[in-house]
Structure 1
Amino acid sequence: MLLTLGYFVAQNAAAQTGSIQGHISTPAGQPAVGVSIGLKGTTIGSITDASGDYNLGQLKPGTYTIGVSIIGFKTQQRRAEVKANAATTQNFTLSESAEQLNEVVVEGQRTNKFARKQSEYVGKMQLSNLENPQVYAAVGKELLTEQLVFSVDDATRNAPGVQKMWEPTGRSGDGGSFYASRGFVVSSQLRNGVAGGVTSTIDAANLEKLEVIKGPSATLYGSALTSYGGLLNRVTKKPYETFGGEVTAAAGSYGFHRVSADVNTPLNAAKNLAFRLNAAYNYEDNFQNVGYAGFEKNLAIAPSLQFQPTDRLTINLDAEVYRGTNVGKQLIYLSYGDAVKNLGFSRADQMPLDYRQSYQGPGLTQDSRSTNLFGQVRYRISPSFTSTTYLTSSRSYSEGNGPYFYLASDIALGKSTTPGVSSLLRSDQSTQDSRRQTYEVQQLFNGDFKLGGLRNRVVLGLDFLSIDSNIDFFGGTIDTAPLNVPGYDYRTFNGAAVRAAYAATPPPHYLVTTKINTYSAFASDVLNLTDKLSVLAAVRVDRYDNKGGILYSPVAAYAQTAVSPKFGLVFQPVKDRVALFANYQNSFTNQNGSYQTPEGKSFVLKPEHANQIEGGVKLDAAEGRVSATVSYYDIRVENILRNLGTVGGLSIGAQDGTQWSRGTELSLTANPLVGLNIVGGFAYNFSKFVKTDEDVNGRRPNTASSPYLANAWVSYRQPTGLLQGLGLGFGGNYASDNKILNSASLGTFTLPSYTVLNASAFYDLPHYRFAVKMDNLTNEHYWIGYTTINAQKLRSIVGSVSYKF
C-alpha cells in the first residue's frame, strides 16, 4: 500500500489539476439520485449522490464535454472549461422532452461499481469517504445481486472485520443477529441513521446498501443503539419518478424457496408523488436432518412513499413489516461451571456430536413480528441550510419456544469420574406475549457555509429515544438425551413434550419490564482550513433516564449524564485521490448501583467509557478504479466495574477495570480491467482484559470473536458483444480460531478456524436476469458462537430468475 501511495503521489503531484462539480435536479426541483455523469471521449465518470450532487476531480486543465444521462429523461451535454486548482460548477435540470441532440454523447462508465464513495449518514452530513476521518465499509445492492444475497446476515460477509456470532432467534427485544467488530458485540438496530431494529432475519429486499461504521460512535448515534465496536446502518431503497421494478423467484437446497418484488410508480402527473413497494417471502429448512424439525419462514413487506410538494420540501413515509415463524437454530452452550478438562476435548471439531443431526423434534416453534414505521420531513431553508425531522416507531413481538442445549461432562452429571460427554441436556426458553417498543424523534439542522473565508459543514441535532420493554421469559431443562446410541429417537424433545413438562411443573418466569428515556443534543463541524486540510470537532450531551422496573430482578430508577466528544483530521496530499486521516472517538455505557470500596467508602457508579484513537490512509486512485482504506486503531475501555464480593450484605467493588482492543484493518475495491471487479478485506484484532477479575485478567474476552478475519470476492462480467451481461464470481471468508470460553478456572474452549468459499454465475439481460450460486463449495464443517457453539450450513445451491420492467 505504501508503494501504491508513493506511485500515485508522484504521478499526480507532477500536474496541477481542477474539477467539475454540480447539482442535478428533476423537473420538479427534486434532487436527482443515481444520474450518470461522464466526460466525452474518456472513461471518467460518476453518479449523483443522495442530494443530487456530483464531483469529477483530478482533471487536467482544458475543455471537456459533460454528458448527463438517466433512463426516462433526455441525455444532455454541455461544454465546460477546467482550470488548474479551481472547481468549475455545472448544474443540470433533467428534461423529459423527446428532442434528441444531434451529437452522440459518450458517457464515462462507472467501472468500480462496488465502491460507495459518499454517505449522508456516517457523519450525519453529506461527506465523501476521503473527507471523512472515520472508517466505514459500504456494501451495495449491486454486490448483493451478483452474489445472490437475500439477507443482511449474508451481506455482512463483505464487510472487513465483521464476523457473525449469533443466529437470529426472533424473540422480542434482542432476537436479531449479533456480530463482532473490533473485539466487541454489534447488532443491527439502525435504519437510515435512526432506530429501526428487526428481531428476526433481516431481509435484503429493500436494502440499497449496508453501512458498517467502525469504532465507538456515541457522539452522533448515542450509546443505546451502538457498541464500542461500531454500528450497522441499513440504507433503504427510495421511490423515484418513473415506473419500473423487478420480480424474482428463487429455489434451492434444504427446501429453500423465495419470491420477491420491487415495484415503483409515480402517483400523479407532476411526478412529485411516488410510491415503491419491496416485498419478499422466504422459506428454508434447517440443514440438520432436513424436514424433521428446523425451519424458518419469513414475510417482509416494505412500502415507501415520497412526496415533494415544493422544490424545498420533501416528505418520506416508510414502513417495514416482518412476520415469521421459526424453530431456533441449534445453539449449544457449555454447562455453567463445568471445566473444559472435564469434557475430554477442548475444540468444537472434537465434540461427540453428529454435525448433521438435529437433536430436537417438531413443534418447538415461535411466532415473531417486527413493525417499523418511519417519517422524514426535509426542508431546505436556504441554499446553505436544511432542516430534517425524523419520526420512528419500532415494535417487536414474540411468543413461542426457544430450544437450546447444554454440553455437560459426565463428571458434572455425577455419571463418571473420567472426563467425557455422553449426554446432551435439552432445554427451552420461551417468550409469552413479549413486546418491546422503541420511539425516536430526531431533529437535524445541516449547514454548508463559509465563515471568515473558510468552509464549514455543520450539523446540529436534538434527539429523544424511548425504549419500553415488556418481555416474559420462562423455561428450563426438559430432559437429557444420550449421545451416539443407535436407534435413539431424538424427536422426543418436541412441542408436546415441552407443554407437558410445563403443565406438570410450572417453569420459573424471568421478566424484563423497564422503560428508558434518553434526551440528547449534539453538534458537529467539518472545517476546511484549506482545500486539502480539514478538521472535525463534535460533542454530544446525553441525559439517560431509566424509570426502573424489573430486569430479571427489581432495579431502581436512576439517571445519568454523559458527554461524548469526537475529533478528526484529514489531509489530502493529492486532492480527491489520497487522504491521510486520524480520529478520536468515544462511546459510553450507563451503569447503576451503589458500592463500597474495600476501605468502606461508598461510591455511585459512573458511566463506562470507551476511547478510540485511529489513523490511516484512504485512496481513490487510478481515475476511481481503486478505492482502499488502511487503518490502525486503539480502543481503551475504562470504568469497568470489578465486583469484589460482599461484606455485611453490602456490595464491595472498584470501578477501575480496563479492557484493550487494538488492531488494523484493510479494505479494497478495484476495477483493474473493464468488467473485472475485486472486493477484499483483512482485519486483525488484539483484545484483552487488563485490569479485571483475576479469572480472566490478561486474557482475550470470550465475546471478542476471531482475531484474524479476511474476505474476498472477484467477479468478471462481459461488458460488450453477444455475451454482454454474462458473468462469474468467486470468493469467500476466513476466520481464525475463536475462544468462546477463556478463563483461568474453567480453561479454554475453541471454535476452530474456517475458510468458506462461494461462487456465482449470472446472465443479466435488459429484461431478464438468470443466476445461480453455490455457497460453502468445499462442504466445510464450521461453527460460529457468542459463548455458544452453532454449526453452520453445509454446501447449498440456489438458482433464481428475475423479470425487470
Structure 2
Amino acid sequence: MIKNFTNSLKKAIGSHHLLKLTCFILTLFSLNTAYAQKNATIKGRVTTANNETAASVNITLNGDKQHATSTNDEGSYILTRIAPGTYTLTAKLIGLGTQEKQVTVNSGETLVIDFVLAEDSQSLSEVTVTSGYNKFAKKETESVARMPLKNLENPQVYNIVPKELLQDQVILSYNDVLKNVTGVSQAAINGANSFNLRGFTTKSFLRNGLQDGKANSIEVANIERIEVLKGPSATLFGNSLTSFGGLINRVTKRPFNTFKGEVSYTAGGFGLSRVTADFNTPLNKSKGLLLRTNVAYTDEGSFMDAGFSKRLMVAPSLSYKVNDRLSLFADVEIYNQKANDYVRLIPQASFTKTNPALLNVNWKRSYNNNEIYETQNSVSAFGEVNYKISDQWKSQTVFSRTNAPIEGLFMINFIQGDTAVLRMPGYEHADYKYTEIQQNFNGDFHIGKYRNRMVIGLDYYVNTLNSSFVQQYGFDKVRIPGNDPQYNKLTRYSVEQVFAAKTYTKDFIDQRVYSGYLSDVLNLTDELLVMASLRVDRFVNNGDYSINRDTTTGQFKQTALSPKLGLVYQVIPQQVSVFGNYMNGFKNNAPSKQPDGTPVNFKPSYANQWEAGVKTDLFDGKLSTTVSYYHIKVDDVLRGDVTPGRQGFILQDGGQLSKGVEAELIANPFKGFNIIAGYAYNDNYTINTNKDIDGLRQWSGPARAANLWLSYQLPGQTLKGLGLGIGGNYNSKAYIMQSRSQGEFYLPAYKVYNAAVTYDQPSYRVSLKMDNLTNKEYWGSYVSQMMPRRFSATAAFKFQ
C-alpha cells in the first residue's frame, strides 16, 4: 500500500521533485531546537457587555506589532512564543472601549485572559463615515486555507475584494467585481461567470467554500467579499470546482447583532433600473437568533439593437448561537433570470483581417432578436454547523445544494471569413442539480513546543444533468458590413419552425466525487512555518444515459492524489514574509477506444505549480503588497495523433506551460486616501500538442493586465461623507487564435476608465457613477462589443 501511494505521489509531482521536497522537509524538521525555548502562550476570548462575540478585535502585547493578532469569528485569540516577563495586554476595536490588562507569564506557561468590552458611544458616533484606515486591505479570512491563517503566514497568493470596494465603486455587475483582481480577465461576458486566471478558464462555482454551479448571472447585492485563490488548488477544494489557474469563491452576507437596514434605487443609461434592500433583524438577540434578508431586482436593456435582462434575487439567512460551543447558520439564494444578453461572436480560422476593428463590425449590432431568450432560475441552499469540541479542536459540518434549471432559446454566432456572420440558434431545457457535503475538523495544538494548525476533511460532491437539446448550425448568413435584408428574419417563430422538424437530443448525466484531505501548518519558530497538505480524490462517472438510444456510455472511475507544500519565513515578524509553494491540480480523463478498436485507459492530467514571492503589511497596516513569480506545467494532456495514417488516434503526451509575475498593492498613504492596484504578466502556450500552434499563445486572456482604483474621502466636518473615486483597467493584445499556417486573430489592447462620486451620511447615501469615461470602443471575450460610456445614479436610505 505504501509503495502504491509513493508511486501515485511520484506521478503527481515528478520523482525528481519528490526527492527534493523530501530532503527539504526533513531538513526543516531537523532544525536546531534552540528556536524552541520554553516560551509562554496567552489566549482567550473577547465578548461585549451583553455577552456577544466580538470578532476582529486587535490584541497587542506592549503595543508591539510582532506580538499582535485579532480575534476570529468566535471572538478567540492566541499569542504564542512569549518570553517570560510582565506585559500590558490590550484589546481594541473601533466602537468598543479599549481595555488593558497587566499580565505576568512564566516559562512554558499558558495563560487564559478574557476581555469584556463595552460599547463606546462616542466612538460610534464619530465613525459613521469611516475614512482613516486601509479599508480595502481585508486579507484575513479562514476560508482560504480552511483554517485561521493570516495572509503573511499563508504560502499561497490570494486576492480579496471586500464589500467596501464594491460600494466605493458602485458595482452593479459581478463581472465588474473581478476587474479589481490582479491578472483576472473575462473569458465570456455577461451571464457566463467565466474568467481567465493565470492563463486558464476559471468558472465562479464556489459559494461559501462549497459548490454553487449555476449558469445564471451572479448577484452582487448578497456578497460580503470575493476570494480569488491563485494557482492549482485541488488539494483543499477538489478539481471539479477549480481550474489550473485557481478558484473564485464568493462569501455571502451574514446576520449580526443589531437592527439595520438599507434600501437603494439605481437608474442609468441603456434602460438600467435597479432596486436593492438589505435588512438585518435580530429575532431573539439574547439567544443569538438573527435574521438577515437581501433582495435585488434589475431590469436592464442594451446599447445594441437587441439585448435585455430581468433579474430577481431573494436571499434570507439565519444564524443561531445555541450555546458557547454550538452555532448554526443557514441561507438560501433564490434567483430568477430572463435574459438574452450573452453575446458571442466566435471567429474561425483563415482570416486576412487580424482583429475585429478591421472587420468593420457594427458596434450596435447584436445579430440577435429579443424574442430569442432563456430563463435561468436557481435555488441555492447552504447550511453550516460549528461545534467547539475542546479548546484545541472544533468541528464544522457544511452542506450545499443547488438546483439550476435552464429553458429557452440561445444564439451562438460565428464570424465566417472576413465578411459574414453565421448564426446558429439553439434550444435547451436543462435541469442541473449539485450537492456537496463536507466535514472538517480544525485543530490548533502543540506537539512538544511546536504549534500545529490542522484541518482534516471529508468531502462528497455529486452533480446530475437532465437535458433536452437541439441546435441548427448555419441557420442563416448575414453580411458584416452594410445592410442585409436577411438580418431581421431571425425570429422566434422562424427558429421554432426549423426545430419542429429536428430530433432533440435527450441525456442524463451523473457524476460523483469522494474525497479526503489533510493540511497541517507547523510553526518551527514564530517566524518559520511549513505547510504540508494532501488530498485523495475518487471520481466516479456513472455515464451519459441517452434517452433517445436507451444506452449509457462513458462510465469510468479514477483516483487521483493532490499534494501541496509551502514555506513561509517572516523576515520582519508581522510585517514582511517571503514564501514559496508547490501546488497541484488535476483533470480526470475518461477511457476511450482507438479507431482500431483498442481500448485505452487514460490517467489524470496534472498541473504542478512552483511559486515564490514576498508579502508585506507595513506602517501599521497602511501598506499591503504581494509580489510573486509562478510556473505552472501541465502534463499528460490528451492530443490527437497527427502521424500519417493514424488520424483519430489519441495520445497522452501533450502539455501546457503558464508562467508569469503578479504584483498587488493596497495602500492608505494618508487619512481618507485608499489605493488598490495590480499588474500581471502571463506567458502561456501548449507543448507537443500540434506543431502548427505549439509555443503560440491561444485564447487565455491578455499577456499583460493592470488595474487601479484611487479613493479619497474628504476630511473635515463641512464635507464629511463626500468621497471621490477614479480608476480603470488595461489589457494588452489578447489572442483568440494563432496558427503558423493560417495566421492570427486577436482583440486589440485597451484602457478603460471609470469614476464615482459618493455622499454618505448616517441616514442616506447618494452615488453617481460614470463607466467608460472616454467612451472607448473595445472588445471583450471572443468578439463581443463592450459597453460604451454609461452614467448611473444611486440613492440609498438607511435604517438603524
The interval holding the TM-score normalised by the smaller chain is 0.7 to 0.9
Change (3 A) 1:206 1:533: same
Q: Which residue of 2 aligns with 1:386?
A: 394
**1:457-515 CA distance string (max 9 Å, x none):** 00000000001111222121322223444484733322222123323x32x54445211
Which amino acid is the alignment partner of residue 256 of structure 2? Y
Equivalent residue for 1:591, pick from 589, 592, 602: 589
Q: Which residue of 1 aligns with 2:790?
A: 796
Which amino acid is the alignment partner of residue 512 of structure 2? N
Q: Which residue of 1 aligns with 2:195?
A: 179
Which amino acid is the alignment partner of residue 527 of structure 1? L
Structure 1 range deviating more: 569-578 or 31-40: 31-40
Q: Which residue of 1 aligns with 2:538?
A: 543
Which amino acid is the alignment partner of residue 406 of structure 1? F
Change (3 A) 1:387 1:41: closer
Q: Which residue of 2 aligns with 1:162?
A: 184
Tell me how far 1:117 sits from its aligned partner: 2.6
In the alignment, is the contact (CA less than 8 A) between 1:570 and 1:581 conserved in 2? yes
Q: Which residue of 1 aligns with 2:326?
A: 313
Tell me how far 1:519 sits from its aligned partner: 0.3
Structure 1 range deviating more: 552-561 or 54-63: 54-63
Q: TM-score w.r.t. structure 1 length?
A: 0.87
Q: Which residue of 1 aligns with 2:378?
A: 370
In 2, distance between residues paired with 1:380 and 1:76?
28
In the alignment, is the contact (CA less than 8 A) between 1:275 and 1:303 conserved in 2? yes
Equivalent residue for 1:339, pick from 350, 356, 365: 350
Tell me how far 1:69 sits from its aligned partner: 4.9
Secondary structure of 1:127 counterpart: coil
In the alignment, is the contact (CA less than 8 A) between 1:153 and 1:177 conserved in 2? yes
**1:153-212 CA distance string (max 9 Å, x none):** 11100000100120245xxxxxx3210010100010101111123322211111110000
Q: How do 1:639-718 residues align onto structure 2 when only pairs under 5 Å count?
A: 639-644=636-641, 652-702=649-699, 704-718=700-714
In 2, distance between residues paired with 1:601 and 1:365?
44
In 1, distance between residues paired with 2:762 and 2:111?
35
In the alignment, is the contact (CA less than 8 A) between 1:50 and 1:120 conserved in 2? no
In the alignment, is the contact (CA less than 8 A) between 1:28 and 1:272 conserved in 2? no
Q: Are 2:775 and 1:762 equivalent residues in the alignment?
A: no
In 2, distance between residues paired with 1:466 and 1:84?
52
Tell me how far 1:219 sits from its aligned partner: 0.3
Secondary structure of 2:584 counterpart: strand
Equivalent residue for 1:137, pick from 153, 159, 167: 159
In the alignment, is the contact (CA less than 8 A) between 2:692 and 2:739 conserved in 1? yes
In 2, distance between residues paired with 1:585 and 1:186?
17
Secondary structure of 1:606 counterpart: coil
Structure 1 range deviating more: 531-540 or 198-207: 198-207
Q: Which residue of 2 aligns with 1:416?
A: none
Tell me how far 1:679 sits from its aligned partner: 0.2
Tell me how far 1:287 sits from its aligned partner: 1.4
In 2, distance between residues paired with 1:597 and 1:497?
40
Q: Which residue of 2 aligns with 1:522?
A: 517
In the alignment, is the contact (CA less than 8 A) between 2:463 and 2:512 conserved in 1? yes
In 2, distance between residues paired with 1:85 and 1:195?
47
Tell me how far 1:269 sits from its aligned partner: 4.8
Q: Which residue of 2 aligns with 1:50?
A: 73
Secondary structure of 2:235 counterpart: helix
In 2, distance between residues paired with 1:427 and 1:750?
22
In 2, distance between residues paired with 1:59 and 1:718?
42
In 2, distance between residues paired with 1:452 and 1:792?
59
Q: Are 2:253 and 1:256 equivalent residues in the alignment?
A: no
In the alignment, is the contact (CA less than 8 A) between 1:644 and 1:654 conserved in 2? yes
Equivalent residue for 2:450, pick from 440, 450, 454: 454
Q: TM-score w.r.t. structure 2 length?
A: 0.87
Tell me how far 1:312 sits from its aligned partner: 0.5
**1:411-436 CA distance string (max 9 Å, x none):** xxxxxxxxx41x3222212212x111
Change (3 A) 1:38 1:147: farther
Secondary structure of 1:514 counterpart: strand
Equivalent residue for 2:477, pick from 472, 475, 480: 480
In 1, distance between residues paired with 2:217 and 2:558?
34
Q: How do 1:701-780 residues align onto structure 2 when only pairs under 5 Å count?
A: 701-702=698-699, 704-780=700-776
Q: Percent of pairs identical after alignment?
A: 38
Which amino acid is the alignment partner of residue 493 of structure 1? L
Equivalent residue for 1:194, pick from 205, 210, 221: 210
In 1, distance between residues paired with 2:277 and 2:717?
30
**1:13-50 CA distance string (max 9 Å, x none):** xxxxx999753235676533355779999999997543
Change (3 A) 1:30 1:562: farther
Q: Which ranges of structure 2 fall in alignment gaps of 5 or more residues?
A: 1-39
Tell me how far 1:573 sits from its aligned partner: 1.2
In 2, distance between residues paired with 1:523 and 1:63?
37
In the alignment, is the contact (CA less than 8 A) between 2:99 and 2:115 conserved in 1? no
Change (3 A) 1:664 1:554: farther
Which amino acid is the alignment partner of residue 776 of structure 2? E
Secondary structure of 2:363 counterpart: coil
Q: Which residue of 2 aligns with 1:513?
A: 508
In 1, distance between residues paired with 2:43 and 2:709?
32
**1:616-659 CA distance string (max 9 Å, x none):** 00000011100000000000000011221699999533211111
In the alignment, is the contact (CA less than 8 A) between 1:19 and 1:82 conserved in 2? no
Q: Which residue of 1 aligns with 2:53?
A: 31
Secondary structure of 1:530 counterpart: coil
Secondary structure of 2:574 counterpart: coil
Change (3 A) 1:57 1:705: farther
Q: How do 1:52-131 residues align onto structure 2 when only pairs under 5 Å count?
A: 52-53=75-76, 66=90, 68-69=92-93, 75-80=97-102, 91-94=114-117, 111-131=133-153
Tell me how far 1:772 sits from its aligned partner: 0.8
In 2, distance between residues paired with 1:148 and 1:203?
14
In the alignment, is the contact (CA less than 8 A) between 1:80 and 1:88 conserved in 2? no
Q: How do 1:243-322 residues align onto structure 2 when only pairs under 5 Å count?
A: 243-289=259-305, 293-322=306-335
Q: Which residue of 1 aligns with 2:37?
A: none
In 2, distance between residues paired with 1:638 and 1:774?
45
Secondary structure of 2:520 counterpart: strand
Change (3 A) 1:187 1:524: same
Change (3 A) 1:722 1:19: farther
Structure 1 range deviating more: 544-553 or 352-361: 544-553
Tell me how far 1:339 sits from its aligned partner: 1.1
Alpha carbon RMSD of aligned pairs, Å? 3.4
Secondary structure of 1:781 counterpart: coil
